[in-house]
Amino acid sequence: MTVNELKGVGPKKTLALEKMGVRTKKDLMYLFPRDYQDRRYITPIVQLEIGKAALIRGTVRRVMKDGYRRGRKRTLRLIIEDTSSAIEVVFFNAGFLASNFKVGSEMYFYGKPALYQNKIQLTHPEFSSSEGLQGILPIYPLTKGISQNEMRKWQKEIVSLRTEIQDVLPQKVVEENNLCPLEFALRNIHFPAGVEELRQARYRFIFEELFILALGLAMMRKTEEKGIAFATSGATEEFIRRLDFSLTGAQRRVIEEIRRDMERDIPMNRLVQGDVGSGKTVVATAALYKAVKSGFQGAFMAPTDLLMRQHYDNLKASLEPLGVSVAFLSGSMTQEERNSTLKALASGKIDILVGTHAIIQPSVEFHRLGLVITDEQHRFGVNQRISLYEKGSHPDVIVMTATPIPRTLAVVVYGDMDISVIDELPPGRQKILTKAVGTGARDKVYRFVAEEVEKGRQAYVVAPLIEESETLDVRSATEIFEELEKKFRDYNIALLHGEMKQQEKDEIMGRFYRGEVQILVATVVIEVGIDVPNATVMIIEHAERFGLAQLHQLRGRVGRGEEQSYCVLISASAGEIAKQRAQIMVESSDGFYIAEKDLELRGPGEIFGSRQHGIPDMCLAALVKHIDIMEKLRGEAIGILAEAPNLEGEELRPLRDKVEDFFGRIDRFSL
């Protein structure tokens, strides 16, 4: 069933279609319109508006062909009349069209009325003697050598053939979800009978796409693997009882979800999402304690040396009193320290090892690794995570992230993981006062920074670039740093950016951490979970250049202590979107809400940034719009797999083929 069987498709057109990935009639049938034009209504000529495309129906009253004149275009002019009025229709250099128009016949024209010498006219409209121009018309993606009209003609021909195409979706799924039949959907996606029919058709195909996605993801879950069933020991309850603060409801719920997972003999693979400051660490600590109480070791991986030390200090403080031994491994240890740590780890003397990616090196051997936790996982590559996982025998896995991703999107991006959300902040948290200002207020802003520093506080100043750029009019971190050094000679000011060596960065962060530096000028490198409670001011220069989710992360660096904290967004743009974005930041401190707004304003690409998620943009866009059905699809997919784990059987064959297609794509996912 190749396309060259269609009328008007010769070798040239075949080649052009091939360029669009269309070889068979089925390919063509699945080449959907990129848009539609609503031409359902016929506009009386008297109601035509300049510049607004419209469909008219009228009788051809006159056909006038200009003779050839030097330097002038030859024109073909028609007078078309309906019951309301008449209009001139003009074609340039198109005398050959004249034979299409017979005086007295009724015709349809579609075009944009324009004013010429004070008269309203239609120039080069589409025309037809039949009703072909009326309705909701498809607009197809095209390629050189193929016109919109040709494409429509072929599509029309194919639709009328009513070729039998096997449905990918099982009948049961179609019925249960009130989807329209495939044949109906195909006809109406190309030539909608009406708006409602088009909606149904589209829904059906989006459903199909997302269903394949959900099914593929569900199949990736390796449920047949046997994992560790940790003892039902009441260890988490004991841990919670011993805390000197009470957990939030969300923390309790997530710990409970983790406990249940740990006690089952299926390997846990859980993503814990929680806004900055929501208290993820204590949740991780409870899980580690349970693992140790069951006779296993735990590993905790953090992306930077400083964060690793922070976690080490925390874990040590809360777990050592309970008899758990905590150690760390870092690249900056001496060989001797390292060797003795490794030995203690291999013999099982160390219960919990905290480390940077230093802990995935082959020389690091655990005695009995049962639980692996990675913090701020987007900083780690997939392979790094797998390396750590393989140091145990199907250990349980928890991945913690502060990047707020709307839940259903996370379902897809982290496909094979269960998701827990800590959607509540510990009580008594102060709201960070946020202000959005223009560049004119800059002096005032820095006077405020000085006041806070005089009170003994510390401040961050974040800029989008490290150095001045020739092409962008943007203040760089280096520039700001030099300015501030001149301005505030009495303060210690430091510069931190991503091109520095890790050791240098750690050293500078360490000085800020200890209060030896009052103002830290930085690029987004400080985004990750640094906790300096004495820092109360976050100034973000060129806030218009950051994503909202990113601004939220940055803001989360302050407001971690007792004092009132502030965030000032300095924007160099007065645009409407910039204003809206700033307003969202001023009004909300809810990371998930902000992420969703970011999604609306800038699309999914921004949230994921450079993350190599591998999901096609188109799919992501559909997901964002139809996020509500993704959860449902997931359940549906799991239901089908329960009956046919490998999609066996003749009825599921088309589905299996499509999922296999998709697995080709899925292989590239970073899951």
> Least CB distance from residue 560 to ligand ADP, whole Å?
7
Cα separation, 481 vs 47, in Å, equals 63
Q: Which does 522 bind (CB under 5 to 8 A by kind): ligand ADP, Mg ion, none?
A: none
Can residue 565 be called a binding residue for ligand ADP (CB under 6 A)? no
The one of Mg ion, ligand ADP, none whose footprint includes residue 245, by CB under 5 to 8 A per kind, is ligand ADP
Residue placing its CB nearer to ligand ADP in the complex, 324 or 402: 402
Classify the phi-psi angles of 63: left when phi > 0, otherwise alpha if psi is within -120 to 50, otherwise beta: beta
Would you say 39 or 311 has its CB closer to Mg ion? 311
In angstroms, the CA 12 to CA 14 distance is 5
To Mg ion, the closest distance from the beta carbon of 278 in angstroms equals 9
At residue 91, what are phi and psi to the nearest 5 degrees? -125, 130
For the bound state, the minimum distance from the C-beta of residue 400 to Mg ion, rounded and expressed in Å, comes to: 7
Which lies closer to ligand ADP via its Cβ, residue 236 or residue 281? 281
Q: Which of 502, 593, 492, 611 is nearest to 552 (CA)?
A: 593
216 contacts Mg ion (rule: CB under 5 A): no
426 binds, among Mg ion, ligand ADP, none (CB under 5 to 8 A by kind): ligand ADP
CA–CA separation, 562 and 332 (whole Å):
33
Which residue is associated with the tokens 């299926």? 266
Spell 145-183 as b/e; 16+ CB within 10 A means b.
ebeeebbbebbebbbeeeeeeebbbbeebbeebebbebe
Q: Which is nearer to ligand ADP, 88 or 590 (CB)?
A: 590
Residue 247 binds ligand ADP (CB under 6 A): yes
Cβ contact 127:133 at 8 Å? yes
Nearer to ligand ADP, 314 or 571 (CB): 314
CB of 376 to ligand ADP, least distance (A): 9
Q: What are phi and psi of 521, to 5 degrees?
A: -95, 130
Taking CB under 6 A as the criterion, the residue among 43, 121, 236, 278 binding ligand ADP is 278
The answer to whether the CB of 527 falls within 8 A of the CB of 554 is yes
Distance CA 135, CA 234 (A): 67
Paired residues of 519 in beta bridges: 459, 493
Q: Report the relative pairing of strands 126-128 and 106-111 from DSSP bridges.
A: antiparallel
**Contacts with Mg ion in 491-530 (CB under 5 A)?**
529
Q: Between 531 and 550, how does the x/- string for binding to ligand ADP read (CB under 6 A)?
A: x-------------------
Closest distance between Mg ion and the C-beta of residue 245, in Å? 16
Per-residue contact flags (x/-) with Mg ion for residues 104 to 133, judged by CB under 5 A: ------------------------------
The Cα–Cα gap between 509 and 494 comes to 9
Chosen from Mg ion, ligand ADP, none, partner binding at 559 (C-beta under 5 to 8 Å by type): none
Q: Which of the ranges 8-16, 40-48, 68-76, 271-279 carries the binding residues for ligand ADP, by CB under 6 A?
A: 271-279
Residues that bind ligand ADP (CB under 6 A): 245, 247-248, 251, 274, 276-282, 402, 426, 529, 531
Residues that bind Mg ion (CB under 5 A): 529
